[in-house]
Structure 1
Amino acid sequence: MEQRTLHSSSSQVSALQTNKVLRNTYSLLAMTLAFSAVCAVATMAIGISPLASIAMSIGAFVLLFVVHKKADSASGIFWVFAFTGLLGGSLGYTLNYYAGFAGGPQLIAQAFGATALVFFGLSAYALTTKKDFSFMGGFLMIGLIVAIVAAIANIFLQIPAMSLAISAGIVLIMSGFILFDTSRIINGGETNYIRATVSLYLSIYNLFVSILHLLGAFGGDD
């Protein structure tokens, strides 16, 4: 009887901890996405150059290591906003490029809407079913490495069809990561909400950019 009570108490504590991580993750994710959007609009307004955009992306990549190192400290929040601000700001050039298309603003809005639909749909599925998607981790990492190598190769090859295939692949991979990361939080695999936020943010960011590229290729017209 005592063992059963202890087990029940332990399960309740675990559930409360999971709910706390989920709540903190989604709150921080919402704030960082909003901050990113503000930074993107700001760099669009000043007409950020391609080089400045690349520099901000590299800066964000460097800060990603700092974020993971500081995730357990009080300063972790500051570094998350610095990271997402730089990455959001780096989008300014890309957004200005697509905004120059006929119906460009609508194209960007469609990409944003599609990204939100995919994220909320997959998150709701993972939260409702509570399935464990940890088995996808290895496949997703291999897929991501293949996509990165292909993207680097295509910088030199410049094959439009390959570029579209890479974007479509990234959409699938990032969708898988949303399921994987949400599942890890639910099942106690990730207990740090800062790391959880960064993982989901990166999935949403890459999902948006890839969907925008696909919509621009099939629906855009300069």
Structure 2
Amino acid sequence: MTDNLEALGRALPRILDGLLITVELTVGGALLALIIAVVLGLLARVDNILLRGFARVVIELFRGTSLVVQLFFFFFVLPLPPFNLDLPPILVGLVGLGLNYGAYAAEVVRGSINSVPKGQWEATTALSMSRAQRMRRIIFPQAWALMIPSLNNLLIQLLKGTAVVYTITIVDLTNVFNKLRIETDVFFAYTIALIIYFLLAYALSSFMGLLERRATAKLGRGRKKTKAVPDLKGAATA
């Protein structure tokens, strides 16, 4: 046990570096995924068949293929002709995670917007709101409160998905512990890894829980009144 602790102490700088990479991939990938999700989720609802078809193709492509294969494509294929696009490994990881989980999150965005009560849509029409005003001021705030729990699950999945980026030479947390097990033993190394990943996931879940509480509070919903409909007239004139 003493030898394991000594090895852990020696590996601490590498663990911190790997932890930083994992956090960067998680936060950066999540932000990119959110942007992609909102764009694709909205496009998947438009009347224009070309835009809607584009969104569906992108969503199904990245949901229907492996994250590992996508990372390999971006890392090994894009540098070749005719693409000639040589991206840094960390950027490949961010793009791969963002596109993959953004495609899943796009369905969450689309479904949450569709779940907003029909009466809210009709009321915005009665108030002569433009499409942009209707979405920004009335529909999306309500949909946002609905989508946060599902986005929380995808965020945790994205955190765990960062573990595969070591396949494209990125020294993340998993890669560091793969090396640490050689210096210690399998049980010790991966137990420490499990604890760190759990703490990261717990911190992310706590943050998303805070966002959910704030989102529902802004809509005037109490914790036990999750089905209450906000005051539309007040929201529209705010």
TM-score (norm 1): 0.40
Structure showing greater Rg: 2
Q: Which has the higher helix share?
A: 1
TM-score (norm 2): 0.38
